Structure 1
């Protein structure tokens, strides 16, 4: 086994020009205008937001983080960050901004002019969203591979990417920005590059504020509409702390105070809860990131705050927590939670920003869709899969009497029938592999559940999704149980028929008996030795 690479010594300061890679001017954000695609800087993005159709960023976690950053800037430019503004006045102001149809050009210049040099990715004194003190406070760097979550780092196995720690390829600066954002919002907890700040030191960090969550953002016809509709009512987030984004503060954060500042307002909630400190090292020409430092930002637990783009649901103890991302769960299964304040089965509470867009019912609401960005992770270091999806323009269904409840009932019915399908397939597999003549009662110890459950779910969910959207579009909510039950029965027959080429009498009998579990029945033997149905 090869020995691990030796730690790198702290490299010398960069020689790149301090004005290199200004995120205001350099083209790094991928956007679409109709069918045309290009990359723009932050200044052009806001100046042209009303003609840009969408932002097309990858990976999805970086896109989710970018929309939060852009939302803070949009709120500042439009004065929709005023926490003293009451609910009605704030709604009126948002409607007035939308009616103008674009961001005010003078307001854009005024905002960016207040923070000169703060959007330079590699600035030696205030690099954007980074801490330049890490060069001195960390004895070694973390390596550029550590910044990219799908690259192997340290002694990890090389599977899908061959960028080893011995030969780490540099990252283009426009790519490095999104990996920087991903680390800050979705970074892992646990061991990290050790850091010593004054008398405070440590070699472990807490997880990023969005780790293993799924976010939902309103999407309009233009980037301008998406940004303005995506600004949450900020009066919900006045906690008495400072409403500042990292690039707006005069001083760097003080890690010796141990506890993170109380997040308040749109700047604090969306960009003020990072648990990691990061620093990128540029190449000599300032076009690439060649190394990174990734370590802790605060030693004690962060002040909690609810994110306006997350679904919160209730556990058995009555505590609300953010719904976790699940790569095996399709977006449509969260659709009812985007329309309702309480879905009933898990008491899911829709994202604050989607509850607020109901006030746009006379203008933008019928055009709005919801885009999801999720990152399926564990709580520490394992990153499984990220995903993205978008709903049809149906958020206005929240205002139709009885429709959200009917949609939620249909989703719950589909999940119930899928559960019964999996149960039936599991019991059938056990029964045909049980030497007790297919009864599935005796000698069951040690019999695995088999492959049929996964096969059944794989076949069921795509068809259930098509059926769901067909019914939603047609507003047809009658006989839901019968239709999803028939779907489950069809899938059951496909799975069992495909996997049992020669149907011996015992096997056929076991499959038919367990099929009844989908109907909510179980078979029991009557006094005459014949099977009978009981509910």
Structure 2
């Protein structure tokens, strides 16, 4: 902060959260307006996918503290109401004066005022896609040597994102500790269940919240979000177990302080200090409600416990491959987001049509393995969530989806092996194969739409008690056609001469034969489970 000025930016009422309204028009709203107008808005839409997830999580914590809901009856009352009632929100906000001011001298929002004596860095360090340190020019050619100015609204969005998605590695130390773990958002694909309005979306992601009753699970009576802490955060990094769900949603993984200066438009953020913050203690599976988990099959004769791992997005390969983990209940090796478990129990209260469908928006960020603190990519993907599948308790459905995903994986492997066989047959053994990734791009993205259709076909079969065989057959045909087009593209994309052309033709022919076998095997295996 500057010593000569005390700027203000009230996050409750100043516009700063980017949203899309029901007419698909973009805009910005404050925290209070977002809740009071949630029935008029479509969704939160950050500048980047991680920002979208981070803002959703912040808003959910805020909504929980204002509305609970403390039990299923109250949840149903909120769901049936046209809009969020203003009285609980007004009552909550009145109890925390000054806690939502971005630049408050004593309690700046989600910040650590004890860092004021530190030398500030460029505000560019807040912005994930700008080039700073090891994140060199991955998304952008701005460097930390430049001194960009951020508006208070922009700085607030990036502040929330840093707390949820900052990279690990070496940070500016408060005293001596430089090392920091990656922020929790990097550890899983964040699953947001979307309804037709932002009001519906928020409620669909709000389990019963009653800290005194220790709900949701792992929540204690002392649970509260970061802005309700009695004192500003200690600048020294610590490690602790979360108090509960809103604590997790607003986890203070970094100590941050924004610095301002006057600008032509009022106040601008021109600097920041970011130091290591609070390390998360505990198993993510027992803490995180907006993630799906899976564990690998047990090796034969092994008595070692199998650990659960969070489902994460993979570049090129769609998140639909994890539909079993995301949608279905009842599998001991897979756990869908716990928000969906509670939602499935409320289906009767929602009075939904049999063919109703939600959308799962899955958001993730991948950090570079060989460059400390660098972001490799981020993504935001959608998976349809037909209500019939969310309610399904038939293990057959999980097996059929599993076979469908396995077919796609096996065919994808066969495509890669076709390319490997070509290089082995054409070049000397001492020459490494050259993989461009073109086959992956020609194959995986083109399966998203057919798999969406497959899930909807399965849902329709469940509703009508009809056969699943047509859906299975259509999926097999789709995979075969997509794979054939990818292989043909590979065969014809590069001019080849003489022997190279002969080797390419042989490996292509071998792939087509294997593809036929894989699809036939898929249909034979599913015949044992499909009606």
Q: TM-score w.r.t. structure 1 length?
A: 0.82
The answer for the alignment partner of 1:478 in structure 2 is 472
For 1:206-355, what aligned pairs fall within 5 Å after superposition?
A: 206-234=181-209, 235-238=215-218, 240=220, 242-254=222-234, 259-271=238-250, 273-284=251-262, 287-298=267-278, 302-305=281-284, 306-315=287-296, 318-341=306-329, 347-355=333-341
CA distance in 2, matches of 1:364, 1:386: 36
Which of 26-35 and 468-477 deviates more? 468-477
The answer to whether the 8 Å contact 1:425/1:492 transfers is no
Equivalent of 2:416, from 408, 414, 422?
A: 422
The answer for the alignment partner of 1:149 in structure 2 is 128
CA distance in 1, matches of 2:63, 2:135: 40
Distance 1:122 1:514, change over 3 A: same
The answer for the alignment partner of 1:5 in structure 2 is none
The alpha carbon displacement at 1:24 in A equals 0.8
Equivalent of 1:128, from 70, 86, 109?
A: 109
The alpha carbon displacement at 1:127 in A equals 0.7
The alpha carbon displacement at 1:113 in A equals 0.8
CA distance in 2, matches of 1:63, 1:295: 23
Equivalent of 2:439, from 456, 459, 463?
A: 456
> Is 2:408 the counterpart of 1:408?
no
Distance 1:514 1:447, change over 3 A: farther
> Is 2:502 the counterpart of 1:494?
no
The alpha carbon displacement at 1:96 in A equals 2.3
Post-superposition CA distance 1:186-215 (Å, at most 9, x none): 11222111203xxxx422222211125321
Kindly name which structure, 1 or 2, has the bigger radius of gyration based on alpha carbons: 1
Q: Would you say how many aligned residue pairs link Structure 1 and Structure 2? A: 479
The answer for the alignment partner of 2:386 in structure 1 is 394
The answer to whether the 8 Å contact 1:456/1:492 transfers is yes
Post-superposition CA distance 1:398-437 (Å, at most 9, x none): 2244444423321221112111221122112321235xxx
The answer to whether the 8 Å contact 1:144/1:170 transfers is yes
The alpha carbon displacement at 1:374 in A equals 1.4
CA distance in 2, matches of 1:473, 1:155: 43
CA distance in 2, matches of 1:72, 1:314: 29
Local SS of the residue matching 1:210: helix
The answer for the alignment partner of 2:362 in structure 1 is 372
Local SS of the residue matching 1:112: helix
CA distance in 1, matches of 2:280, 2:68: 32
Post-superposition CA distance 1:166-198 (Å, at most 9, x none): 3221111111112111211111222111203xx
CA distance in 2, matches of 1:122, 1:79: 28
**Structure with more helix by fraction:** 2
Structure 1 gap segments, 5+ residues each:
1-10, 83-89, 435-443, 522-535
Distance 1:12 1:34, change over 3 A: closer
The answer to whether the 8 Å contact 2:316/2:441 transfers is no
The answer to whether the 8 Å contact 1:260/1:303 transfers is no
Local SS of the residue matching 1:53: strand
Post-superposition CA distance 1:482-512 (Å, at most 9, x none): 6524542443233124335445584244543
The alpha carbon displacement at 1:397 in A equals 1.9
The answer for the alignment partner of 2:527 in structure 1 is none
Q: Cα RMSD over matched residues?
A: 2.8
Local SS of the residue matching 1:368: strand
Equivalent of 2:374, from 382, 388, 393?
A: 382
Local SS of the residue matching 1:24: coil
CA distance in 2, matches of 1:75, 1:159: 37
Local SS of the residue matching 1:195: coil
Post-superposition CA distance 1:108-154 (Å, at most 9, x none): 10011111111111111111101111113x3x223212111222225
Post-superposition CA distance 1:240-282 (Å, at most 9, x none): 47201111122123355x64343133222211x3221111112
Distance 1:113 1:510, change over 3 A: closer
Q: TM-score w.r.t. structure 2 length?
A: 0.82
The answer for the alignment partner of 2:48 in structure 1 is 59
Distance 1:403 1:301, change over 3 A: closer
CA distance in 1, matches of 2:75, 2:122: 44
The answer to whether the 8 Å contact 1:309/1:352 transfers is yes
